[in-house]
A and B are shown apart, each in its own frame.
Chain A
């Protein structure tokens, strides 16, 4: 609906579009005789700024009624004009007040949005001992400024769009022009445009739409809360997506090996980084497979235990009333419940939970003969091992359960079949033409220099071939 220039009619039309009770308005007259009306959304508009930037300068206004003239009389650096009433209504809801008057050709929108921000601080994920400590916050503008500060180049493109019919969430697509593969950029843009949903409360909603196989077992979108990691990924040729209201940034295409790497790996000697990456991988594999192999060995293949260990285990499990698979399943479920509760529970009861979890449930259950000591030890190790790769915890805990079920019903052969299934699943998954398991499957020896093994920075002169960057060289000399 177009603006008519008649204050009363336009205002009532806008009020029809915005019937909410927190949409307020007030009138004031300028020295030149024009009466202005400001329409604003009370909770999200900074009224002090509104007074300083809009009302106070306009009180002395003596110019004409064109929006351009009125705009010149304002002191605001952020100003837009619209002749469409729906667009004006949208701006009011976003926290930007709309200025109306008789005889206007366009309504003026002034950027005086009230911003509730938490400070830029160290994120709870991706914590490093050495390395930058800044983390993204919920405001997209702050997040893009954190990126801009690190990438001072005109090649950094940040394309904004609004997604969500009701939430109208700002989403920023970030990439380095000439470094990111154009097909990937277009692919991400196309999928973002195709999203038709009422609201995007968090970037995880977008991640679901950006996957090629939404029902796949493993995630296909990388996530980070750290601007340094985000920028490093853009420099490698990836595309990033930020959503307003979310501190989690998305990066594409995602490679499985990304989650075995940590920000700190680039601040320690390559040999140390390699060692920690190998440890992470082994810990993750052991955490997933150990409970399954223990159950399979106990149920179907006792030969897997050395004789002395077998005697110890036999002594521990002699009086346990549950079958090995059920015992392990129950201990794992108990661990998952404890884990879930410790995350959700208020911090001040956390200590009590530790006591109840570790002592009452663990120690007492063993003493009472419900669970055996080896089962508790294995699950405890498994729990710690999974957190060696925290970004994959959602997947690895599921895989651990799948392997346990396979081992409990089919023994070691079940584990092998489940592994075969996982291999098929992982090798078949690719996003934006990039295989998930690259650089291992398909093997790209050059890209392996920064995978499990970490070479020195001087050896990483080229960008990963897997990401198909048109700008292959990242270091000269």
Chain B
């Protein structure tokens, strides 16, 4: 017997509460600080508010108990549904680049004293291949374990950081002006596509009354945690914040007890890093899930999707190994519009879809 494909409401809420703190604390704080300076939290607030609405819309869609494929098939027919799945799958492949690369940079910086070989990151793709073969129910169960672990780790990192932060550095609010805040929002869209991540889960979520509101609240709570972290981050590093990458691994090291006990903050950093592995794998899992919906989910096919997707992203990572800053600049300055299109507009537009074909014909 295999693990169930359904995700329980509690598992979804754990995942959503962890999603923002686990995916937005590596390079995003420095990027925001570079664009919006002490108003970084305002930029993040705008993006998080939009994403919270997108999450609400996406979870509301799961009320229909239809997969993303079925949703499109009912409205536009099978061919359009297949095309829709492929396009969204390609988007996830594209969107996975920044999280994977920042994960790689974080690994090189946080886990090693000296810069290691790029090859050390290769096993990550093996885990990714294996992960894409597992049912989604398995992902839900992982967050039953990692949800509380993330909360505890994040709490201690905040606790260790709080004493060193000078929050007056955030004042006066709005000094960078609307332009600075807006620039912060635009340049960081690559980190905000969480609404889209829920689309492959449609039809797999056990929808219960009020789940959409609860999901938005859970995601909002995670977002609030990110805002708190950003405030502490800027309070600690202030003017040098734009060059403080891998923020979550740096803020707690000034805690006084660390001089006596050693880097105990690493316990919590590693706990977060474990959960981050799964969050950074999630776009790949989503892409694989969409291909399963479009082309069937027999074991050999699942293996093929997983190998194809992970092979593609591994190849891109290798080719662009030394050009991440340029690639990131291209993504965040030229292709920035793609992320809100899929991450926020798509879930909202899907809410407007009406079924045209009878239910029994769909997958």
Contact = CB atoms under 8 A, between A and B. Distances in A.
Given A302-B113, A309-B262, A416 B140 contact: no
A123 to B, nearest CB: 31
B111 A441 contact: no
Interface in A282-319: 300-307, 309
A441 B144 contact: yes
A387 interface: no
Contact of A304 (B130, B262, B273, B277): B262
Contacts of A433: 1
A303 B113 contact: yes
Interface in B182-241: none
B141 interface: yes
Interface in A408-446: 410-417, 419-421, 423-424, 427-433, 435, 437, 440-443
Contact of B270 (A306, A416, A424, A435): A416
Contacts of B124: 417
A420 B278 CA distance: 8
Contact of A441 (B107, B142, B278): B142
A212 interface: yes
Contacts of A303: 113, 263, 266
Contacts of B140: 442
A415 B274 CA distance: 9
Interface in B248-300: 260-263, 266, 270, 273-274, 277-278
Contacts of B172: none
B144 A430 contact: no
A150 to B, nearest CB: 31
B141 A427 contact: yes
Interface residues of A, number: 36
Given A412-B270, A424-B131, A430 B1 contact: yes
Interface string B116-133: 100010011001001100
Contacts of A431: 1
A427 B3 CA distance: 8
B274 A427 contact: no
Contacts of A304: 262-263, 266
B111 A301 contact: yes
Contacts of B107: 413
Contact of A300 (B112, B142, B260): B112
Contact of B127 (A420, A437, A440): A420
A300 B117 CA distance: 12
B277 A305 contact: no
A442 B2 CA distance: 14
B134 interface: yes
Given A300-B116, A427-B138, A442-B8, A305 B262 contact: yes
A292 B35 CA distance: 41
A300 B111 contact: yes
Nearest to B3: A428
Q: Count chain B CB atoms within 10 A of each CB in A306, A415, A420 and give the residue with the most.
A: A420
A437 B141 contact: yes
A419 B276 CA distance: 12
A212 B113 contact: no
Contacts of A417: 123-124, 127, 277
Contacts of A421: 127, 130
Contacts of A427: 3, 138, 141-142, 145
Given A414-B123, A424-B130, A442-B11, A419 B142 contact: no
Contacts of B278: 420
Contacts of A443: 10-11, 144
A416 B1 contact: no
A413 B127 CA distance: 12
Interface string B284-318: 00000000000000000000000000000000000
B135 interface: yes
Interface in A397-414: 410-414
A415 B120 CA distance: 12
Contacts of B142: 423-424, 427, 441
Contacts of A429: 3
Given A410-B123, A431-B1, A433-B1, A416 B274 contact: yes
A410 B120 contact: yes
A427 B22 CA distance: 20
Given A421-B127, A423-B142, A430 B3 contact: yes
Interface of A: 212, 300-307, 309, 410-417, 419-421, 423-424, 427-433, 435, 437, 440-443
Interface of B: 1-3, 8, 10-11, 107, 111-113, 116, 120, 123-124, 127, 130-131, 134-135, 138, 140-142, 144-146, 260-263, 266, 270, 273-274, 277-278
30 contacts: A300-B112, A300-B113, A301-B113, A304-B262, A304-B266, A305-B262, A306-B260, A306-B262, A410-B123, A411-B111, A411-B116, A412-B270, A413-B120, A413-B273, A416-B277, A417-B123, A419-B274, A423-B146, A423-B274, A424-B127, A424-B134, A427-B142, A428-B2, A428-B3, A428-B134, A435-B141, A437-B141, A442-B11, A442-B140, A443-B10
